[in-house]
Chains A and B, each alone.
Chain A
Amino acid sequence: MNFEPLLRVKDLTKFYGERPAVDRASLELWPGEVLGVVGESGSGKTTLLNMLAGRISPSQGRVLYRDEENWLDVHACPEAVRRRLARTQWGMVWQNPADGLRMNVSAGANIGERLMALGQRHYGSIRQAALSWLAKVEIPAERLDDPPLRFSGGMRQRLQIARNLVTGPRLVFMDEPTGGLDVSVQAKLLDLIRSLVTGLKLSVVMVTHDLAVARLLAQRLLVMKAGQVVESGLTDRVLDDPQHPYTQLLASSILQA
């Protein structure tokens, strides 16, 4: 086994004009771990996620990713390398499935796109892979040729997950994966994500404002406020014994069902 982190981030800062959206955030992500990033709107969660995923470049600080044996500086390496990582070893699940899916092409083509980008040129086997992934995310096989435009919100989100996981990534970034779904659909999706994550030994960085989701999925939590990481630790510890006043406020604001 490998006891080195997958992602190592030191003093990551992003300025928008004068104001820092993310202020000296540091973190480490370990293989097989789900890291939740919680905080209110505007606290810099999504900016942090986008920097981790190499989608926006930081003003200061570095993101190091362990690609097999080598440490790779995500923002210093050529765009070609970054994009190759993004479609092979990484996945990105957006809150709005329309951002991560091609809404007008069939579910099968959506799942197959990454395979085709990697050079697979056998229609039959691409279709087979798409079918098996549909089954894994509990979408009926007869919807294979329907475009996501005709899917419900929950199905779209599950399709987006399948599309990302088809190339067997090691690291998946999720931005509010359950936002905008009603409670029962949300519960089903959380269940699915949890079983996939443990089954495939994925590492996940998940941004959410929903502490219940964070408690269910994340082993470790990062609490952000005004661009700064104010508290981090094991999820249960952070939520049951919050240290920072803001975390205390956050934890006490969970509605008790």
Chain B
Amino acid sequence: MSQAPQYNFAYLDEQTKRMVRRAILKAVALPGYQVPFASREMPLPYGWGTGGIQVTASILTPEDTLKVIDQGSDDTTNAVSIRRFFERTARVATTTRTSQASVIQTRHRIPEHPLTKDQILVFQVPMPEPLRFMEPRETETRAMHALEEYGVMHVKLYEDIARHGAIATSYNYPALVGGRYVMSPSPIPKFDNPKLHMSPALQLFGAGREKRIYALPPHTRVKSLDFEDHPFSVQHWDQACALCGARDTFLDEIVLDDAGRRMFVCSDSDYCGERRDNNAKAKNGPREAA
């Protein structure tokens, strides 16, 4: 792409980035607290990652290497279009390798590959307010956060157990941050909740439509809410990944044909590919370049 720079670096103007960075700094200082910010119109629809893209644009430097995933995969529409957006407007290097990225924008997953202290994970958040389903009034939810009135969160979990015999909430599972704020970890599966806890990477959450930014600084305690007699647990599969054989990853169920055949594969396409490469190497020696 050799076009003249028509946009400011990473699309947003510098004043906007300053404003977003201030919100991020405040969010980092108050882990789990939702900081309001003046969310801008972005050239993609609400719900496609307008919050995440503004956070990424504000923290990106020319030296960064960006990875974008959607449902764990690098090659779905949302991931491809956001990656191309930053290739064009910021001309940063992009990668699909988790270990090589310095900034990872994600929707619905945390990569399987453990993150390091040199990485920043940016989440796209549709609904930042964990109390919203129980309490529709914004004034009231703010007071509840301020006064740590989180009893209603357990009402929701109680209701789950009463109806389904177990806590049926399987994504966007509410968690208590640093013993203070209850946060909604964006619609990641609860499988990924333990990865939020004490992560060495900085984790930023951007909600564009709701105009909120919140953060988990590195090494923050994150406890998923539960009952003493119904403790938090993550999903397990009987199958291993049909492609790489992994048994410890989050699996997607893929329907193969109208006859109802299906397979389970890792949702993290990069992790799965890496494992398959390694398996092949271990079997056949170094794989030839394709």
Q: Which residues of A contact B (CB under 8 A)?
A: 79-80, 83, 102, 105-106, 108-109, 112-114, 116-118, 121-124, 126-127, 144-145
Contacts and interface: CB of A to CB of B under 8 A. Distances in A.
A116 B158 contact: yes
Contacts of A112: 155, 158
A109 B162 contact: yes
B152 A113 contact: yes
A123 B151 contact: no
Contact of B230 (A79, A117, A123): A123
26 contacts: A80-B147, A83-B143, A105-B155, A105-B158, A105-B159, A106-B163, A108-B162, A109-B155, A109-B158, A109-B159, A112-B158, A113-B151, A113-B155, A114-B151, A116-B151, A116-B152, A116-B154, A117-B149, A117-B150, A117-B152, A122-B228, A123-B158, A123-B230, A126-B158, A144-B162, A145-B163
A123 B161 contact: yes
Interface string B106-145: 0000000000000000000000000000100000000100
B257 interface: no
Given A121-B228, A122-B228, A124-B229, A83 B158 contact: no
B229 A123 contact: yes
Interface in B161-202: 161-163
B145 to A, nearest CB: 12
B151 A117 contact: yes
Interface in B203-237: 226-230
Nearest to B144: A83
B interface, over-half SS: helix
Contacts of B152: 113, 116-117
A238 to B, nearest CB: 39
Contacts of B156: 105
A interface, over-half SS: helix
Contacts of A113: 151-152, 155
A80 to B, nearest CB: 5
Most central of B150, B155, B163 by chain A CB within 10 Å: B155
B132 to A, nearest CB: 14
Given A79-B147, A80-B147, A106-B162, A116 B155 contact: yes
Given A79-B147, A113-B155, A121-B227, 5 more contacts: A83-B147, A105-B155, A112-B155, A116-B158, A123-B161
Contacts of B162: 106, 108-109, 127, 144-145
Contacts of B226: 121
Contacts of A114: 151
A179 B203 CA distance: 53
A102 B151 contact: no
A184 B18 CA distance: 67
B159 A118 contact: no
A124 B228 CA distance: 9
A21 to B, nearest CB: 23
A79 B151 contact: no
A108 B230 CA distance: 16
A121 B154 CA distance: 8
A102 B155 contact: yes
B58 to A, nearest CB: 35
**Which 9 A-B residue pairs are closest in the complex by CB-CB distance?**
A117-B151, A116-B154, A123-B227, A116-B151, A122-B228, A109-B158, A109-B155, A80-B147, A145-B162
Contacts of B143: 79, 83
Contacts of A108: 158, 162
A139 to B, nearest CB: 15
